[in-house]
Each structure stands twice: as C-alpha cells, then as structure tokens.
C-alpha cells in the first residue's frame, strides 16, 4: 500500500496482533495498539499502546478516534480445552467487543475495518472424518458451528455484512485456520496444539512419554504467523467483502504433528493418548481456491520449517522458566 495510514490494531498484546504491529510499522504506517494486556515476550512496536477493555462502549469510541483502518483481532479465545469450557463468557465477551467496535468505527468515520473470524464457524457435520473434504467458504451454511465461540464468530460475520448493506461501511472478513509461530501463548490453557505439543516435547526427557488429547488421528492444517500477517494485509487492501479462508491446505494428523516436533527436537517419545480430553472436530482443512483467486497468493511456509522456528523459541522459554524455578528453590 503506497499511502501510509493511521491504523488501529485491537488484540495488539496477543500473538497475531503483536506480529502484525511489527509488520505495519515496518511498512511505514502509524499504529495504535489496544488490548487488555501488553505483549508478553517483547515490547510492542506500536506508536501508541492503550490498555482498554473493548467490552466497554466508551473504550471503543476512544480507540477508534482519528483512525483510517481497523484490524479487529481482539477476542476472548484459546485452544480447544478453553473454548469448550467457557461457552457463555466467551460468547458474551466477544459479542460485546465486536458489536461495540463496529459501531464505534462507523461513528468515527473509519475507512476500512477487518474482522478476524475463525474456521470454528464451519458446520460440524462437514468435519466428522479425519480425511475431511477441504472447507470452502460457503460450507459455513447451513449453520452448525462450534458451540459458543463458533456461533459468535458466525454472527459477527453477518453483522459486518449488515453494516455494509445498511451503511456502506467497508468491512473485510478473514477466517483463520490454526495460526502458530514464536512469541505466542504456549502454556496456561489458552495455547493451540503446535505450541502445547512443543512445550510438552521440550519438557520431556528423551525416551519418555507425552500426553496427547484424543487418539491423535484428528486432522488440522496449520499456518505460520508470517504468512498470516501477509494475508491480512493483502485482504485489507483488496475489494473482497465476503468471508475468506486464511490458512494452508497441508493437512496433518495430531500424531504426525507430534512426530514432526519430536524429530525437530531430536527426541524419541511414546504417545499416551487421553480419550477423555476434548479434541474438537474430527478433521478440518482449508480450501484455498477462493484465497488464490482473490489475493493471487496463498501461505507458503512449509510446516516443518515453521515448526522448527516455533519449537526452538518455546524450548528456549521452557528452559528459562526452569532455570528461574530452580533459582527460587535454591535461593540463588
């Protein structure tokens, strides 16, 4: 984009948001970051970083003042264990954030608004087999999304469409498919599977075992965070107003993902499958036909390359934490 813009990025203290702030700054834009927390592992590159709870209407008005574009990545979300445990809170919090942000952006004459949706909007009936047919954008209907988080995302997509229909307010809708990379949450319950498995492998002793949720045959596709950021910027600059998948179509089983990470770590570990833990839909993969048509591009970072970078970072964080805990015990 030749013209430099004043950009608001909500969720700027989170994983994707932090990486996107860095990229937008590198491209020469003025960036305001907003979140309920600062980035955990690095200082934000934003010109202006504000701690604001976007469930509160007045805070959304403040955040969107004197802004050209909004990337609304703010959300109450996490891995499958988290989003299946807090249906009411997640739905309530995200509905408030998204309804307030849309209206505030419109009232403050924002030129363009991007909403971050999720592959959780897709009909569960189309994701019952591990060898799943890649999901096209129209497969979100008839509606049967993930309870709580998925229903809220699907409705917020509709709300974006209504704002264009009624007010000609320019919105963009992206459906993320499992984003991973360094500087993301890797423990505490909100982490996604590549980060959780990387943490478990890093902490395991070679020759030991690792706990896997479910039988491990469930399948997913994973997108490296740099590809995600590139796709977001390209979608914002496009004329495409309908929902668009943003992910890879390289589908792997969780068992294979574990094997890849063990190979990167140089460890041999036995898988202990816990069938009592949540594992989500049986299979999910992105159909990138429309993505390639609309953007003339698609994510290209090979999974093994992205995992190697991610694992190395998480392993370093785990070691730092272990050293700190040892120092506390010994009094050093």
Return the closest-CA partner of residue 232 out of 73, 36, 30. Answer: 73
Dist. CA 32–CA 129, nearest whole Å: 42
For residues 15 and 229, the answer to whether their CB atoms sit within 8 Å is no
Task: Please enumerate in sequence order all residues whose Cβ is within 8 A of that of 196, keeping only pairs 6 or more positions apart, or say none.
Answer: 79, 186, 187
Handedness of CA 225, 229, 230, 231 (dihedral sign): positive
- Annotated catalytic sites, by residue? 149
Angle between helices 254-265 and 303-330 (to 10 degrees): 70
Dist. CA 91–CA 76, nearest whole Å: 8
For residues 156 and 200, the answer to whether their CB atoms sit within 8 Å is no
Query: φ and ψ at 40, to 5 degrees?
Result: -80, -35
Return the closest-CA partner of residue 27 out of 45, 41, 15. Answer: 45
Residue 234: left if φ>0, alpha if ψ -120 to 50, beta else—which one?
Answer: alpha
Reading the block at residue 186, the tokens are 């890797």
Q: Tally Cβ neighbours within 10 Å of residue 53.
A: 15
DSSP code per residue over 215-280: -S--EEE-EEHHHHHHHHHHHHHS---SEEEES---EEEHHHHHHHHHHHHT---EEEEETTS---
Return the closest-CA partner of residue 232 out of 122, 13, 69. Answer: 69
Query: φ and ψ at 165, to 5 degrees?
Result: -60, -45
């Amino acid at each position: 984009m030749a013209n430099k813009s004043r950009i608001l990025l909500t969720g700027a203290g989170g994983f994707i948001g932090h990486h996107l702030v860095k990229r937008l700054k590198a491209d020469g834009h003025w960036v305001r970051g907003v979140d309920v927390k600062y980035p955990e592992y690095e200082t934000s590159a934003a010109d202006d970083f504000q701690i604001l709870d976007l469930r509160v209407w007045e805070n959304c008005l403040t955040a969107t003042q004197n802004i050209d574009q909004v990337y609304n990545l703010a959300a109450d979300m996490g891995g499958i264990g988290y989003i299946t445990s807090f249906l009411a809170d997640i739905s309530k919090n995200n509905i408030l954030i998204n309804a307030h942000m849309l209206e505030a952006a419109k009232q403050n004459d924002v030129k363009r608004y991007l909403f971050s949706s999720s592959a959780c909007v897709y009909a569960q009936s189309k994701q019952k087999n591990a060898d799943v047919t890649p999901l096209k954008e129209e497969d979100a209907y008839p509606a049967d999304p993930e309870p709580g988080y998925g229903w809220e995302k699907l409705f917020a997509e509709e709300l974006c469409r209504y704002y264009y229909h009624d007010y000609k307010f320019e919105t963009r809708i992206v459906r993320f498919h499992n984003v991973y990379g360094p500087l993301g949450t890797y423990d505490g319950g909100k982490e996604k599977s590549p980060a959780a498995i990387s943490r478990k492998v890093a902490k395991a002793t070679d020759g030991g075992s690792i706990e896997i949720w479910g039988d491990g045959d469930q399948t997913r596709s994973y997108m490296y965070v740099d590809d995600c950021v590139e796709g977001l910027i390209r979608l914002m600059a496009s004329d495409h107003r309908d929902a668009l998948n943003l992910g890879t179509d390289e589908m792997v089983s969780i068992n294979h993902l574990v094997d890849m990470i063990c190979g990167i770590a140089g460890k041999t570990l036995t898988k202990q499958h816990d069938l009592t833990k949540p594992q989500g839909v049986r299979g999910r993969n992105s159909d990138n036909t429309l993505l390639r048509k609309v953007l003339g591009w698609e994510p290209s970072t090979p999974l093994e390359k992205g995992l190697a970078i991610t694992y190395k970072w998480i392993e370093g964080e785990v070691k730092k934490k272990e050293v700190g805990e040892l120092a506390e015990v010994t009094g050093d």
